[in-house]
Structure formats: structure tokens, C-alpha cells
């Protein structure tokens, strides 16, 4: 993209969760608060040298960094000195502009990535980004955020259980057999695998030990850590005196391995019982989602959810989709944009243990989510849809659509990945659809399926984008400094 094209998009973007404009005249310390808030939340862009759209009309917003170049210089020095722990995942680049005085100038664009750590200013303040505000948080919220990011491991904490009486010994024996450890003492084996702590005759199970091998972890930990299954007729819940449930909602509890197996078994029953449809010379089920895609979705939810949150994983079956919603937002530095390529384990003990079963539901080779996309594509189904935190806060919501793709979607989807937004006119140009009304129907259909969201109401100003996408993904590849490549590559 050319500089003027990117600047135009920034001018059209309202300040919100992942986007902020700042004049160069701002105090460097105030700008640091926004940097910390972005890093602790979902990351985003901070444009320095551009006024807030609420405070100035479009023609008066490009002030440039020349308004106070010393402030900008001081800020760039402080960002490495005044944030604890030091910020690693960030970068910067400049855009050439003509400022409101008609002079050549620049904007400084800060690309702040979501961090694996919880960052604070050295003076002690910690901030989160909520909407368009930087919100100072206290010790309780900081603790919650550390669990959310995986900086504190819920799974490694003591469970208070000092007896093996309520373990699923059959499952534990199978695991020992699968790991060639049948001759080891149970307590010592659990300790060696991070599932118990202690010495001599005094041992205590960790919470991971209970979740993986307890007969009922929800009871032992007095916490919700199961899978709630809701199955509906139609495409949405009926909020009436006669709910449209296919079967009464139920909760799967027990060791995590068995929770995954039971959820997959229910999925198989749905596939087998779905009404057959004639396809060619044979009848095939009308439930199209591949089992492997569902297995990956439910396994990911079990492995990566935030167990500190008192809630079950919610799995909702509809005629046209499956929804898998897990407590806690995306762990560590993971975002909707990089989830297919990046890895981060909020619960590494759970991940490792499940993977070591001979019948492991997870491969743990970093390709699971990407393979889920490919499997859906092979079946000519819409790609899995992960909702961003700006739309679905505090949970990870994944939709697997039980609908064959409309061929035009691939063209539109690819265009949006590269160009951020699309109008009816542009959609017609790239697809070859000449009828305005037909394209309007296609766009509305994709909005209804939650593949797109419509921005604006007036015909001449409205456009469409993928849900929650604030700025073009293409900007991530723009010239950032090497800080962005230290540890985790750009998305």
C-alpha cells in the first residue's frame, strides 16, 4: 500500500480497542500509558501526529510529528526504559504526509503486539485497553490478567487433594502404559510429570493432576471445568416457553481425555442421525462438518481454555453451524490474525499429557488450527471463523459452518485479507457479478452468516469487512524495526 492509502484508512478508522490517534504534543508519559494498555490487551496501532477524530475535522487532523519532535524523541527513549517487564513485541514505521500547514511532514505509527506478559509503568501503574479508554487496574484485575495470559499457571497450583482415592485408576494405568512407565510408583510418576508435588510420604496433586485423572475434577476443585452441550433445531435458540432443544442440554464431566472423547462421540451421533440427502447416485448426511475439524476445535478448547474462569466450555449445535466457546480470551500473544501460524500454551502440562496418550486427540506439532482450515476447505465448506475479542470479550468463540461455500466468497475473502474493506462496486468488479441487487444479496447473506460485518448505513459510504478487523493485515508486513522479530514474528 502507498502511504496516502494507509493514511486514508487511518483517517476513516474510529478510535477503539486496537486503534488510537495522538498528537505529537502529548506528554511522553501519557503516550506510554496507551502503549502499556495495548500490550496488556489485544495490541493495535497508535498513530502519532494525527488528531482525535472527535476533536478535529478530517482536514485538520494531520498535524505531523513536527508539532513537537522533541516529545516524540523522548517517548522513543522512554519506551525501552519505563516499562516493566521490558516490551519486546513492538515496532514502528513512518508515513509521509502533508500537514495542515501544507508542509511535508511525517506520522509515526507504533505497531504494539499483544504481549505474553502483564506490563506496568515503572511508577507502578498498570493499564488495560477497554473500548477507546486506557483503564488503570488494581491487584485483583492484574492477577486475573496474569492467569488470562498464562503468566500464572492455574494447572500448576496445589489442589488440596492428598489422596489418590478419587482418581480414574484405569485411565492413569493406561497413561503409564502408553509412556512405558508401568513399573513406577503412582505418586512418584505423577510428580515426575508435574501432576503432583511433595516428598517422601507427603504428596499433593496439582490442579492439572486432578483435571487429567480425577474422576470428577469439577467436584474436586469446586470449579466448572466441563463441556456443556446444547443441541438446537433450526439456526438459533427459541426464547419461548417451548425451547427448541433436540435433546436436553447436558454437561460432560470427568477427566479431560474422556470429556473430549464423549464430545466427539456425541458429534458422531449427530452425523449419523442427520437427514440423508441425495448426492449423485448415493445418499449422504446433511451434516457436513468433518469430524477431524470438530475434534481439533474441542481439543483446542479443552487444552487452551482459562481454567481460572468459573465456567464450562459451551458447545452449541445448530442446523447450519457448530459453536465452540471456551472461557478466557486468546492466550499469550495469540490473536485472530496469527492463530494459524503461532503457538502458545496456557496449560502446557495439560497439552503435554494429552499428547502422550497413544490415542492422543492432539498432535502438538503446531499445525492443528491450520489443518482445521484446510480440512474445511477440502469439503468446500466456509473457513472456521474465530471471533476477535472486540466482538466477543473474555471468551474464544469459534464457528464451524455447516454450509457449502458460495464460489464468489473465496474471491471476496482473499481481497479483504489484502485490502481490509470492500464495497458493493468493488465486489462486483472482482467477481464479475454485474447485478447490483444480486451482489447486495450476496453481501447480506455473508453478513447473516457472520462472515462479514457492514460498516455505515448510507449507500455511498458503507463498506464491508471481516468481523472485528480494524486495520489492514497488510500493515503488519510494513517496515518495522527488529524488535518485532525478537521472539515472535509479525502476524
| Cα–Cα distance measured from residue 400 to residue 299, given in angstroms and rounded to the nearest whole number | 14
CATH of the domain at 380: 3.30.565.60
Q: Return the percentage of the chain with pLDDT > 70, whole number.
A: 92
Query: Is 240 in the same domain as 380?
Result: yes
Mean pLDDT computed over 96-117: 95
| Cα–Cα distance measured from residue 377 to residue 60, given in angstroms and rounded to the nearest whole number | 46
Instruction: Report pLDDT for 490.
Output: 32
Smallest CA-to-CA distance from 69 within 103, 34, 35 is with 103
| Cα–Cα distance measured from residue 31 to residue 37, given in angstroms and rounded to the nearest whole number | 10
Instruction: Report pLDDT for 479.
Output: 46
Mean pLDDT computed over 382-406: 90
Instruction: Report pLDDT for 473.
Output: 55
Provide the H-helix boundaries in 216-338: 217-220, 256-273, 291-304
- Count other C-beta atoms under 10 Å from residue 446's C-beta: 22
Q: What is the DSSP pairing of strand 453-455 with strand 463-465? A: antiparallel
Number of domains in the chain: 4
Query: Is 74 in the same domain as 116?
Result: yes
Provide the H-helix boundaries in 44-150: 69-78, 139-149
Query: Is 333 in the same domain as 261?
Result: yes
149, 183, 209 - which closes a domain: 149
Query: Is 235 in the same domain as 277?
Result: yes
Query: Is 60 in the same domain as 106?
Result: yes
CATH of the domain at 118: 3.30.950
3-state secondary structure of 35: helix
Instruction: Report pLDDT for 461.
Output: 72
Instruction: Report pLDDT for 474.
Output: 55
56 phi and psi, to 5 degrees? -150, 145
Query: Is 360 in the same domain as 275?
Result: yes
Q: What is the value of pTM for the model shown?
A: 0.84
The x, y and z cell numbers of residue 471, run together, are 486495520
Whether residue 468 is contained in a domain is answered as yes
- Residues sharing a CB contact under 8 Å with residue 248, sequence separation 6 or more, in sequence order: none
Whether residue 137 is contained in a domain is answered as yes
pLDDT of 410 above 90: no
Distances (CA, A) of 172 to 84, 175, 215, 234: 42, 5, 11, 41
The x, y and z cell numbers of residue 5, run together, are 492509502
401, 420, 437 - which closes a domain: 401
* 476 vs 189 pLDDT, higher one: 189
Whether residue 483 is contained in a domain is answered as no
| Cα–Cα distance measured from residue 347 to residue 353, given in angstroms and rounded to the nearest whole number | 10
Query: Is 68 in the same domain as 198?
Result: no
Query: Is 210 in the same domain as 75?
Result: no
Query: Is 141 in the same domain as 257?
Result: no
Query: Is 174 in the same domain as 57?
Result: no
3-state secondary structure of 322: strand
Residue 345 and residue 304 in contact, taking contact as beta carbons nearer than 8 Å: yes
Whether residue 490 is contained in a domain is answered as no
Instruction: Report pLDDT for 418.
Output: 82
| Cα–Cα distance measured from residue 257 to residue 362, given in angstroms and rounded to the nearest whole number | 10
CATH of the domain at 417: 1.10.10
| Cα–Cα distance measured from residue 152 to residue 164, given in angstroms and rounded to the nearest whole number | 26
Mean pLDDT computed over 232-244: 88
Mean pLDDT computed over 117-122: 96
Mean pLDDT computed over 431-455: 89
Tell me how far apart the terminal alpha carbons of the chain are, to the nearest angstrom. Answer: 17
Please, which pLDDT band fits residue 475 given cuts at 50, 70 and 90?
A: low
Whether residue 485 is contained in a domain is answered as no
131 phi and psi, to 5 degrees? 65, -125
Mean pLDDT computed over 93-110: 96
| Cα–Cα distance measured from residue 198 to residue 111, given in angstroms and rounded to the nearest whole number | 45
Instruction: Report pLDDT for 365.
Output: 58
pLDDT of 478 above 70: no
- Count other C-beta atoms under 10 Å from residue 125's C-beta: 14
Whether residue 482 is contained in a domain is answered as no
Instruction: Report pLDDT for 488.
Output: 31
Whether residue 266 is contained in a domain is answered as yes
Please, which pLDDT band fits residue 134 given cuts at 50, 70 and 90?
A: very high
Query: Is 354 in the same domain as 299?
Result: yes
39 phi and psi, to 5 degrees? -65, -35
The x, y and z cell numbers of residue 126, run together, are 498498570
- Alpha-carbon torsion (353, 359, 364, 368), positive or negative: negative
Q: C-alpha angle 91/93/95, rounded to 5°?
A: 155
Whether residue 489 is contained in a domain is answered as no
Q: Which domain holds residue 195?
A: 154-220
Poorest-confidence range of 2-16, 31-45, 133-147?
Answer: 2-16
339, 374, 401 - which closes a domain: 401
> What are 260-304's pLDDT values in tens digits?
999 999 999 999 888 776 555 566 668 899 999 999 999 999 999
Smallest CA-to-CA distance from 196 within 150, 147, 153, 157 is with 157
Query: Is 145 in the same domain as 163?
Result: no
Smallest CA-to-CA distance from 155 within 396, 364, 353 is with 353
Smallest CA-to-CA distance from 469 within 113, 17, 82, 148 is with 17
Mean pLDDT computed over 477-486: 45
To which residue does cell 481439533 refer? 296
Amino acid at each position: 500500500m502507498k502511504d496516502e492509502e494507509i493514511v486514508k484508512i487511518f483517517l476513516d478508522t474510529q478510535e477503539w480497542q486496537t486503534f488510537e490517534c495522538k498528537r505529537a504534543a502529548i506528554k511522553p508519559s501519557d503516550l506510554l500509558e496507551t502503549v502499556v494498555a495495548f500490550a496488556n490487551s489485544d495490541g493495535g496501532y497508535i498513530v502519532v501526529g494525527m488528531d482525535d477524530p472527535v476533536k478535529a475535522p478530517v482536514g485538520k487532523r494531520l498535524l505531523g510529528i513536527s508539532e513537537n519532535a522533541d516529545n516524540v524523541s523522548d517517548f522513543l527513549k522512554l519506551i525501552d526504559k519505563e516499562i516493566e517487564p521490558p516490551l519486546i513485541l513492538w515496532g514502528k514505521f513512518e508515513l509521509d504526509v502533508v500537514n495542515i500547514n501544507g508542509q511535508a511532514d511525517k506520522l509515526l505509527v507504533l505497531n504494539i503486539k499483544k504481549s505474553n506478559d502483564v506490563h506496568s509503568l515503572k511508577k507502578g501503574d498498570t493499564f488495560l485497553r477497554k473500548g477507546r479508554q486506557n483503564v488503570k487496574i488494581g491487584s485483583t484485575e492484574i492477577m486475573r490478567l496474569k492467569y488470562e495470559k498464562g503468566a500464572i499457571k492455574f494447572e500448576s497450583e496445589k489442589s488440596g487433594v492428598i489422596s489418590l482415592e478419587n482418581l480414574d485408576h484405569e485411565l492413569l494405568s493406561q497413561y503409564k502404559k502408553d509412556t512405558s512407565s508401568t513399573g513406577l510408583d503412582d505418586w512418584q510418576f505423577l510428580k515426575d510429570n508435574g501432576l503432583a508435588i511433595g516428598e517422601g510420604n507427603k504428596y499433593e496433586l496439582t490442579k492439572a493432576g486432578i483435571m487429567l485423572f480425577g474422576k470428577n475434577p469439577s467436584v474436586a476443585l469446586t470449579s466448572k471445568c466441563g463441556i456443556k452441550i446444547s443441541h438446537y433445531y433450526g439456526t438459533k435458540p427459541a426464547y419461548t416457553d417451548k425451547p427448541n432443544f433436540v435433546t436436553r442440554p447436558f454437561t460432560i464431566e470427568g477427566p479431560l481425555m474422556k470429556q473430549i472423547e464423549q464430545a466427539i462421540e456425541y458429534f458422531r451421533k449427530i452425523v449419523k442421525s442427520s437427514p440423508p440427502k441425495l448426492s449423485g447416485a448415493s445418499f449422504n448426511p446433511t451434516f457436513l462438518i468433518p469430524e477431524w475439524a470438530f475434534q481439533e476445535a474441542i481439543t483446542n478448547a479443552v487444552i487452551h481454555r482459562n481454567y481460572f474462569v468459573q465456567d464450562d466450555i459451551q458447545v452449541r449445535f445448530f442446523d447450519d453451524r457448530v459453536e465452540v466457546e471456551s472461557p478466557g480470551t486468546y492466550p499469550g500473544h495469540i490473536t485472530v490474525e496469527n492463530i494459524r501460524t503461532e503457538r502458545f500454551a496456557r496449560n502446557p502440562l495439560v497439552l503435554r499429557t494429552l499428547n502422550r496418550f497413544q490415542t492422543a486427540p492432539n498432535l502438538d506439532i503446531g499445525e492443528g488450527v491450520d489443518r482445521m482450515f484446510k480440512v474445511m476447505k477440502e469439503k468446500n465448506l466456509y473457513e472456521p471463523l474465530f471471533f476477535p475479542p472486540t466482538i466477543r470479550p473474555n471468551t474464544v468463540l469459534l464457528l464451524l459452518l455447516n454450509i457449502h461455500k458460495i464460489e464468489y466468497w473465496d474471491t471476496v475473502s482473499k481481497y479483504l485479507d489484502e485490502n481490509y474493506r470492500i464495497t458493493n462496486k468493488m465486489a462486483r468488479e472482482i467477481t464479475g457479478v454485474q447485478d447490483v441487487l444480486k451482489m447486495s444479496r450476496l453481501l447480506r447473506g455473508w453478513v447473516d452468516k457472520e462472515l462479514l460485518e457492514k460498516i455505515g448505513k448510507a449507500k455511498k459510504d458503507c463498506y464491508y469487512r471481516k468481523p472485528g478487523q480494524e486495520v489492514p493485515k497488510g500493515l503488519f508486513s510494513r517496515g518495522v524495526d527488529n524488535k518485532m522479530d525478537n521472539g515472535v514474528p509479525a502476524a
